[in-house]
Amino acid sequence: MQIKVADTLKKLPPYLFVEIDRAKRKARQEGKDLIDLGIGDPDTPTPGHIIEALYAAAKDPRNHRYALDAGMLELREEIACWYKERFGISLSAADEILPLIGSKEGIAHIPFAFLNKNDVSLVPDPAYPAYRNATILAGGKPHIMPLLEKNAFLPELGAVPKTVLKRAKLLFLNYPNNPTSAVVPQAFLKEAVAFAKKHGIIICFDLAYSEMCFDGYAAPAILPIRGAKDVAVEFHSLSKTYNMTGWRIGWVCGNKEIVAAVAKIKSNIDSGIFQAIQCAGIAALKTDNAFIRNMSQMYKERRDVLVEGLQGMGWNVVPTKATFYVWAKIPQKTSSIDFCNHLLQDNGVVATPGVGFGKYGEGYLRFALTQKTEKIREALQRLARV
């Protein structure tokens, strides 16, 4: 029998990080010593008190049953407290917060809740691949909004054609940004809310990197903007903030009708987050803010070492104020894939090609600050031979 996959699956490009992982495994099998500055996976462990909370909850038989789709009330209440303290806005734990199996899960499901066939999502480029790919899987059409250096990597909302706006249902935004590390001014968030209201578009604001900030910068949320709750939801994750990438816990919050639609999709697809992990999430959100300050300081020091080293070699790179990424122009006239392959094969340094995040990422590569400072210095020594 000939196995035929769905047409939507054929439209998806190979998933970037799977391809990078395959190349890394092959290089290691060949005996290469790699310094991995590729995928953004924290290299420091989850704090001990979070692990202890998981351990205690996992021993409780009450947590061994199906979890509620809406998530534990205690977790939703803790998210509301965290949000109030961090951003100064009140959220209802009853209907404005939905825990997720990682924010990626919610981002991937929201197009299924709102897109009919050939409806449009406005998708930044370069961007986290899930925005575009989830739109395609849901039967929608991604409309690409270029993120250009000359525009501080902000999309030009006014450049979206009127014919596209008539079919647009979702607008994906992500700041602090992956992969460019760009940050967003309040004025743009106000513009985005006004734009969404005018055209009847839902804003999906990915705020996964909100706590990784440097140089006195504090990342803003969109929901505190006047009128944002009418049109917007935000996606958060504990992955980067508390070194919990493998735990898969996050949330979506904001407009209760949008949250309810995502919850309906979830109820038909999964059975909720293992309650012991939800208990660990509660412990994470109660973590002393000193932990976040210390983590941010660590990433700032790594950023400074990498950026100064690259600049000293003539690379065009600007220090980021947030995230644990450095977005750098390739110093040679070659494709980002070829250049990153060269770094991997000849220098043993793993970086992510910019084109993997979209065609407007071509000419750039992304370094992740997920190695200790001494390893970053060693990587710079290797890059000096490029």
**Does 17 have pLDDT greater than 80?**
no
- CA distances 79 to 96, 109, 144, 243, Å, are 10, 21, 32, 17
**Does 103 have pLDDT greater than 90?**
yes
| 28-32, 61-65, 178-182, range with the lowest pLDDT | 28-32
Kindly report, residue by residue over 261-270, the tens digit of the pLDDT.
999 999 999 9
Average confidence (pLDDT) over 50-54: 98
- CA distances 15 to 87, 132, 272, Å, are 34, 12, 25
What's the pLDDT at 359?
95
What's the pLDDT at 332?
86
Alpha carbons within 13 A on the beta-carbon side of 358: 22
Phi, psi of 45, rounded to the nearest 5 degrees: -75, 165
**pLDDT > 90: percent of the chain:** 89
| 10-14, 44-48, 372-376, range with the lowest pLDDT | 10-14
**Does 260 have pLDDT greater than 90?**
yes
Q: Quick check: helix, strand or coil at residue 144?
A: strand
What's the pLDDT at 46?
98
Domains and CATH numbers, the chain: 7-45+290-383 (3.90.1150.10), 48-285 (3.40.640.10)
At residue 338, what is the residue type?
D
Task: List the end-to-end C-alpha distance of the chain, in Å, as a whole number.
Answer: 49
Non-local (6+) Cβ contacts of 377 within 8 A are 305, 309
pTM of the predicted structure, to 2 decimals = 0.96
Q: What is the number of other CB atoms lying within 10 angstroms of the CB of residue 55?
A: 12
